Amino acid sequence: MSERVLICGNEAMGEAAVMAGVDAYFGYPITPQNEFTAYMAKRMPEEGRIFLQTESELAAINMVYGASATGKRAMTSSSSPGISLMQEGISYLAGAELPAVVVNVMRGGPGLGNIAPSQGDYFQATRGGGHGDYRTIAIGPSTVQELIDYMQLAFELADEYRTPVTILADGILGQMMEPVTFRKRKPRKLPPKDWALTGAEGRGQNIVRSLWLKEGALENHNYKLQEKYKKIEKNEVICEQYAVDDAEIVLVAYGVAARMVKAAVIKARKHGIKAGWIRPVTLWPFPTEQISKAAEDFKIFLTVEMSLGQMVDDVKLAVEGKCPVLFYGRPGGGIPGPEQILEKIKQLSITPKATAIKS
Amino acid sequence: MKTNTLHEKVIIAGFGGQGIMLAGKLLGHTAMVAGKEVTYMPSYGAEVRGGTAHCMVVIDDEPIASPMVSNPTSLIVMNKASLSKFAPRLKSGGLLIVNSSLIEKNNLKDISADIKILAVPANEIAVELGNVKAANMVALGAFLQKRKLFGSEAAANSLPKVLAKRHHKTLPVNSKALNKGAEFAKEH
């Protein structure tokens, strides 16, 4: 399949997961990600793999835990309220060091909120939304093509580091159709799953658990996890940037908001405003280094999100007070469009004043 | 002023069951085959047959930032409720395709003078062809002709890709409807 096809994000992710070799999908319906579940219901049996519509999100994430413990590639997808219900299971996956891919097609919150696109779950995805001392890898694609391209990586990161990986999409990405090509990347070399529960014949017993009661055992386990998280932070950051070097204003955005920002920055440049952008693709691990480096020369940072400000905290931590970090966002289904972002850029720019004096 | 760069933002609206989403997907697919950048965004959620439905299609020569369209350059409305909802949002100089089978002329008197209006009796034409459900294709065919983006034959070629296989027996009537819509637009 190398031809261009027109497909919505939810179905594209489904096919990408099939191509990435997902063995089992467990899910419970919720808008705006229903096409994902529906696609898997049709597609997984065709491949002789497992599709199961569960009785709840709790069941789904715990079935992911079970399937993953046997060494199989397992995943679930949901939208914000459903992902909240799954947090206990995600914490257990992190604790038991089990790979899993969790797709969150974000909608407006808190609570049941609405079904409109949102980026309000950034804190939940990047801080570890469940209890305990853990992190989950979070990837924030911004096109339907990237939903496909990062799916295989999500499974590989999950397997390599034995940790849950979240793909953070939103209602726009899930619902919109764009032309894409399905292309297979060369797979990463991955460690054998010698920890999996496959029947202990001819080998010692494997134990998958998140309970460590013996004195000092959990402390050691937490240090071990921490070491793993350090390695992920060192090796797995993905970040794009554009025209940052000479920029006076640097916009930071991810996902769909980054598309709007890119268009706004191109327009700003046409107006003679020195703007650039940094786009974190991995939200955790966050591109702290890249942003910190950009902040070495004085710039104004403007973070744009479809929320009232979550990733902006990480930008501030990266900038460390070296430059001002401002924020523009809209919550609950509001979309900061390119024109609105351009207005914000103009307000922050000193160039228009200079132009006014000249004329 | 004529520029060569294409920036077309289309809203197609009507009630559920009129094939609004299909018309949008078909426009999207046709644009893709023509090598354009394109996004298609449906209204999603509680849309059911009889309720309101709309979709947004952006066609461009450059990568598309937002699939959301607040001010369309073209609007295709298949029922009266959609006209009142979306017509005020049309960009000045925009194109309005109205399904005059369901929208009476007097509803158009408030439309600003710089909007090009084409009233198409889409249902009547579709009934003549033997299937009222093809009214969406009549309207789309008329739109394609007026905007001269792609020929109605190009859209007809994309039909098998976007129409569910179980409906493929309606391919001939839908293709005819696209052509009839284009013909009507040529004459009016």
Q: Tens digit of pLDDT for each residue in A80-93? A: 999 999 999 999 99
Asked if A176 is an interface residue toward chain B (Cβ–Cβ < 8 A), one would say yes
Q: Tokens 């070399």 label which residue?
A: A189
- Contact between B39 and A337 using a beta-carbon 8 Å cutoff: no
Parallel/antiparallel/unpaired status of strands A239-242 and B52-60: unpaired
- Domain ranges (residues) in chain A: 5-198+205-235, 239-354
Task: Report the pLDDT value the prediction gives residue A303, as an integer from 0 to 100.
Answer: 98
- Domain ranges (residues) in chain B: 7-187
What pLDDT, in 10s, does the model give residues B82-130? 999 999 999 999 999 999 999 999 999 999 999 999 999 999 999 999 9
- pLDDT at position B48 over 80: no
ipTM value? 0.94
Return the SS3 of A6.
strand
Task: Report the residue from B29, B63, B66 with minimal CB separation from A6.
Answer: B29
Its CATH class, for the domain covering A5-198+205-235, is alpha beta
DSSP string, A82-151: HHHHTHHHHHHHHHTT--EEEEEEEBS-STT--SSB--TTHHHHHHTSSSSS---EEE---SHHHHHHHH
Q: Cβ distance B9 to B65 under 8 Å?
A: no
Task: Give the residue-averaged pLDDT of A106-133.
Answer: 96
Task: Report the pLDDT value the prediction gives residue A184, as an integer from 0 to 100.
Answer: 86
Retrieve residue A172's tokens.
Answer: 């726009």
- pLDDT at position B12 over 70: yes
How far apart are the C-alpha atoms of A229 and B143, rounded to whole Å?
55
A6 contact residues in B (CB cutoff 8 A): 25, 28-29, 32, 38, 40, 161-162
- Contact between A335 and B67 using a beta-carbon 8 Å cutoff: no
- Contact between B65 and A262 using a beta-carbon 8 Å cutoff: yes
A172 contact residues in B (CB cutoff 8 A): 41, 67-68
- pLDDT at position B45 over 80: no
Q: Note which residues in 91-120 of chain B have CB less than 8 A from chain A.
A: none
How far apart are the C-alpha atoms of A337 and A329, rounded to whole Å?
10
Task: Report the pLDDT value the prediction gives residue B142, as an integer from 0 to 100.
Answer: 98
Task: Report the pLDDT value the prediction gives residue A1, as an integer from 0 to 100.
Answer: 47
A8 contact residues in B (CB cutoff 8 A): 40
Task: Give the residue-averaged pLDDT of A13-28.
Answer: 98
B70 contact residues in A (CB cutoff 8 A): 337
Task: Report the pLDDT value the prediction gives residue A350, as an integer from 0 to 100.
Answer: 67
Task: Report the pLDDT value the prediction gives residue B44, as an integer from 0 to 100.
Answer: 81
Q: Cβ distance A5 to A15 under 8 Å?
A: no
- Contact between A115 and B44 using a beta-carbon 8 Å cutoff: yes
- pLDDT at position B166 over 80: yes
Residue type, A202: G
Helix axes A57-69, A87-95, angle to 10 degrees: 20
Task: Report the pLDDT value the prediction gives residue B4, as an integer from 0 to 100.
Answer: 67
Q: Give Cβ neighbours of residue B87 (< 8 Å, ≥ 6 apart).
A: B75, B77, B96, B111, B115
- pLDDT at position A313 over 60: yes
Task: Report the pLDDT value the prediction gives residue B52, as an integer from 0 to 100.
Answer: 82
DSSP code for A271: T
pLDDT band at B1; cut points 50, 70, 90:
very low
Retrieve residue A314's tokens.
Answer: 């990480």
pLDDT band at B49; cut points 50, 70, 90:
low
Asked if A333 is an interface residue toward chain B (Cβ–Cβ < 8 A), one would say no
pLDDT band at A352; cut points 50, 70, 90:
very low
Q: Which residue in A5, A118, A147, A178 has the most chain B C-beta atoms within 10 A of its own C-beta, making it the best mutation to test that interface? A: A178
Give the rounded percent of residues in chain B with a pLDDT score beyond 90. Answer: 89
Which residue, among A252, A251, A257, A250, has the nearest Cα to A331 in the 3D structure?
A257
Task: Report the residue from B38, B68, B162 with minimal CB separation from A179.
Answer: B38
Asked if A118 is an interface residue toward chain B (Cβ–Cβ < 8 A), one would say no
- Contact between B41 and A176 using a beta-carbon 8 Å cutoff: yes
DSSP code for A312: H
Task: Give the residue-averaged pLDDT of A133-153.
Answer: 98
- Contact between B65 and A176 using a beta-carbon 8 Å cutoff: no
Asked if B28 is an interface residue toward chain A (Cβ–Cβ < 8 A), one would say yes
pLDDT band at A54; cut points 50, 70, 90:
very high
What pLDDT, in 10s, does the model give residues A323-333? 999 999 999 99
Asked if B7 is an interface residue toward chain A (Cβ–Cβ < 8 A), one would say no
- pLDDT at position A358 over 70: no
Task: Report the pLDDT value the prediction gives residue B5, as an integer from 0 to 100.
Answer: 83
How far apart are the C-alpha atoms of B45 and B22, rounded to whole Å?
17
Its CATH class, for the domain covering B7-187, is alpha beta
- pLDDT at position B2 over 90: no
How far apart are the C-alpha atoms of B111 and B97, rounded to whole Å?
12
Task: Report the pLDDT value the prediction gives residue A354, as an integer from 0 to 100.
Answer: 46
Q: Note which residues in 34-63 of chain B have CB less than 8 A from chain A.
A: 37-42, 44-45, 63
Pick A239-354's CATH classification: 1.20.1060.10, 3.40.50.920, 3.40.50.620, 3.20.20.70: 3.40.50.920
What pLDDT, in 10s, does the model give residues A98-108? 999 999 999 99
- pLDDT at position A51 over 80: yes
Q: Tokens 């809203």 label which residue?
A: B11
pLDDT band at B50; cut points 50, 70, 90:
low
H/E/C letters for each residue in chain B?
CCCCCCEEEEEEEEEECCCHHHHHHHHHHHHHHCCCEEEEEECCCCCCECCEEEEEEEEECCCCCCCCCCCCCEEEECCHHHHHHHHHHCCCCCEEEEECCCCCHHHHCCCCCCCEEEEECHHHHHHHHCCHHHHHHHHHHHHHHHHCCCCHHHHHHHHHHHCCHHHHHHHHHHHHHHHHHHHHHHHC
What pLDDT, in 10s, does the model give residues B68-91? 999 999 999 999 999 999 999 999
How many angstroms separate the Cα of A248 from the Cα of each of A269, A282, B29, B144, B150? 11, 25, 40, 44, 42
Which residue, among A186, A192, A98, has the nearest Cα to A149 in the 3D structure?
A186
| Mean pLDDT taken over chain A | 96
